[in-house]
Structure 1
Amino acid sequence: MPEISLFYGIRITMNWNEHNPPHFHVEYAEHNAWELSKDSKPLNAIEPL
């Protein structure tokens, strides 16, 4: 997956060949934003840059 951005330990990648539609993955340490949203949990807010 191409890395789009990496800041404050947050890694954003784009995945176009896993499944449609193409989508982004966001990871922070061992946390994964997609896992939170799949479980209907609120996403963790981060301070603006």
Structure 2
Amino acid sequence: MLRWSITFIIIAIVAGILGFSGIAGTATGIAKILFFIFIVLFIISLLRGKKAI
């Protein structure tokens, strides 16, 4: 998921450089959403992995 976030941020940067502001804004929004989903899932996996048995 982090890889997809990085891919969309690169697309946003390239689109911004080329002047496609609509595509750049959309790609940035998607990258932000994917990044926050990644962070939430990462924290959940850390908390679930530290169970004391």
Q: TM-score, normalised by structure 1?
A: 0.31
Structure 1 or 2: more strand by fraction: 1
Structure 1 or 2: more helix by fraction: 2
Q: TM-score, normalised by structure 2?
A: 0.30
Relative contact order: is structure 1 or structure 2 higher (C-alpha 8 Å, sep ≥ 6)? 2
